[in-house]
Amino acid sequence: MSAAAWNGPDALPGPADSAGGGSGGGPLDGQDHSESVNGNWDVSANKVTLCAQPGMPPAIPEDSVIDVLATGMGVGGRVNIRGSQGVRVTAGPPVGLPADSRMTKGVEVAVSDLGTISLARGVLPGPAQQTVDITPAGIRIDAGAMPVMISSLSAITLSVADGVAELRISPEGVTIHALSITLSAQLAASIQGLTSTSITSAANVKITAPLTMIG
């Protein structure tokens, strides 16, 4: 069957659907088709489409799956995907999420509102596994037992509620801006300045400790 969706019991395959793929073509008989080549198998065209869709009724629909696999001998299996302008990968219902976009430049990964995007390194769960999950519930980055480093030559900004609370790190210094700020240390806390240190409040400044030294 062609890439077009089947539209009902009165819609039968047309002439364009009667040619089977593979070695020499032939009528489409609905049976499985297999082809094996001991060497290179090249397909060249201006546009190539692979489509997996459920069979015609009254067949029981099965999962539509396309597998791309390079086994090698345990090593050396590679799958190369490249688009001179871009590569777009989508998952979810086609409404509002087209598989093709002429605006794609680079690599795009898009899923539906209920979909997820996951990256994982490591097979067994534990401190050696590292994951990045983008889900409807939020974004979670887990580096396991290894550190996470975010680096920039200009600035790093963490912002909440469109800047209501914000932390900015730049070569000029570190700035924390929020409606309220709480600093808590389980053992000790220190505030130091090489030239000057100031604490300013429009109302009250309260310092509480069993022993307070100012000097």
Contact 88, 110 (CB under 8 A): yes
Residue 214 confidence class, pLDDT cut points 50, 70, 90: confident
Token pair 């890439």 is found at 3
**136-154 per-position pLDDT tens digit:** 999 999 999 999 999 999 9
pTM of the model as a whole: 0.74
Residue 160 confidence class, pLDDT cut points 50, 70, 90: very high
Name the residue ranges covered by the structural domains of the chain.
1-28+44-80, 82-115, 116-146, 148-177
Q: Which amino acid is at 85?
A: Q
Q: In the prediction, which pLDDT does 18 show?
A: 45
Q: Which residue has the higher pLDDT, 122 or 22?
A: 122
